[in-house]
A and B are shown apart, each in its own frame.
Chain A
Amino acid sequence: MNAPVTTQQGVRVTVRGLRRSFLGQPVLKGLNFEVDRGEIFVVMGPSGSGKSVLLKHIIGLETPDEGEILIEGESIQSPGVMDKYRMAMVFQSGALFNSLTVGENVGLYLSEHRLKPPDEIARIVTEKLEIVGLRGQENRSPSELSGGMKKRVAIARALVIEPQLILYDEPTSELDPLMAVTIGDEVIKLNRRIRVTSIVVTHDRDLAFGIADRIALMADGQILTVGKPGEVRSNPHPLIQKFLTADFNHNKERTRL
């Protein structure tokens, strides 16, 4: 009997001494951390701290000036590594193709690489859309979908790859709180279901503390701390506390009263 294709094993990701500058401006200033297999690792920090650039390096879209990204000990820049490990990224905007239907978007990886016959692709597309709660939306155009639906389609598209590593870039930006919770739940459900390693970049504190196994807090191209949510919360570093407790002055005054 053929063994079923296993998707249960996430990969270990190691970031070592990662540096990157754009037009002489340093954006990543020597990052070091490790993400365990099957872990939900959240990179949190203010806008412009280099989080999205970090994600692009991890998936090989950008080349570092110095340092390296290792997937199971192999450099992402080494030939064949991108083919060896299945990796997917959910982009901030969803990055769906407007010229294709939702179903074609989700099945694009399989159809372009001719990995399955068309009827099998249709079945897989339906299955993945069902996982993200969008069954029956196959023939709609991405332009007809709300922001939250687009993100869920993007997650379904990532799932088709049967990834060992999923990267989420600001998965809850531009979403209302209810939809943000739904997306957060999807991230956790997927992680529990297929034990995929998940790296989530966000500046949404609620999402980060709600889903993370560990959190890295980034500011100005550097990692200030890495730890479990409780450890990060109790870290006395003034910048960390400022980011974690930032609130409107009006609210602070109301609390005092």
Chain B
Amino acid sequence: MFQNIGEMLALLWRTLQALPLTWRHRHKVYDQLFEIGNASLLMACILSLFIGGVIALQTGPLLAERGLSGYIGGIVGNAICKELAPVMMSILIAGRIGSAMAAEIGSMRVYQEIDALRTMNINPVHYLVLPRLVAISCALPILVVFSIMVGWMGAALVAVYNNQIGISFQAYFSNLRDLVGLGKVVNGLFKSFIFAVIIGVVSCHQGLQTIGGPRGIGRSVTKAVVNSIVLVLILDYFVTRFLMYLD
């Protein structure tokens, strides 16, 4: 496990060193961005609508019983932008995009395409890892912005149309505006950026480590998704502590 972490950190370092080459590989970055957006945006919005709705459904009646239903906008809004949107979108992206990255790079490794790159003196980190890592690091925060907005809307719909809560749109958004400032949104975006880097590095690393044919590719995909989600959830705690300290 420690060897894996060491290798992943080394891969991250080599990719960071190659960052000045991003402009040269911009077409590959655009392709990856399109892949990520195309594959995930609709799903992200649907997921966020229902997550926002269910959080409002769970907390709204409790607040209403205590005469605090006017606070639902702020409470749900905070939970969505600081925690739920970054974490849920990271899990979604680990499943959809991380798995695709590990499978694609893994099959390139198994079918000797990465060896072919090396014989042409083309660095696989520059050619394969850099565009994917840059794209996912840009795409996940953008998805989280959509997720936050749609999540707030989902919560608002439940807060307004559920009989047990029954507040107005105006009251909901007024409280949201009071309690959720731009700093809290930035907080969520920062988290999502960190999570994107983790998913990208873990998935590319698993792809590059693939051995043993189609079965090996399957193993790499599973490991990429599971390890990404586990690392995201563990690091979420520490990043949250760090951000609270900064607050």
Identify the A interface with B (CB < 8 A). 56, 59, 61, 82-83, 87-89, 91-93, 95-97, 108-109, 112-113, 161
Contact = CB atoms under 8 A, between A and B. Distances in A.
Contact of A112 (B108, B111, B122): B122
A89 B111 CA distance: 14
Interface in B68-126: 108, 111-113, 115-116, 118-122
B115 A91 contact: yes
A92 B120 CA distance: 16
A83 B116 CA distance: 15
Contacts, number: 39
Interface residues on B, range: 10 to 19
A161 B119 CA distance: 10
Cβ-closest 8 pairs across A and B: A95-B116, A95-B112, A109-B120, A89-B119, A91-B112, A112-B122, A95-B113, A61-B115
Contacts of B122: 108-109, 112-113
B85 to A, nearest CB: 31
B33 to A, nearest CB: 15
A167 to B, nearest CB: 8
A91 B111 CA distance: 9
B120 A61 contact: no
Contacts of A96: 113
Nearest to B120: A109
Given A93-B112, A95-B113, A112-B127, A59 B119 contact: yes
Nearest to A62: B115
Contacts of A95: 111-113, 115-116
Nearest to A61: B115
A83 B122 CA distance: 11
B121 A83 contact: yes
B104 to A, nearest CB: 8
User: Which of B111, B115, B118, B119 has the most chain A CB within a 10 Å cutoff?
Assistant: B119
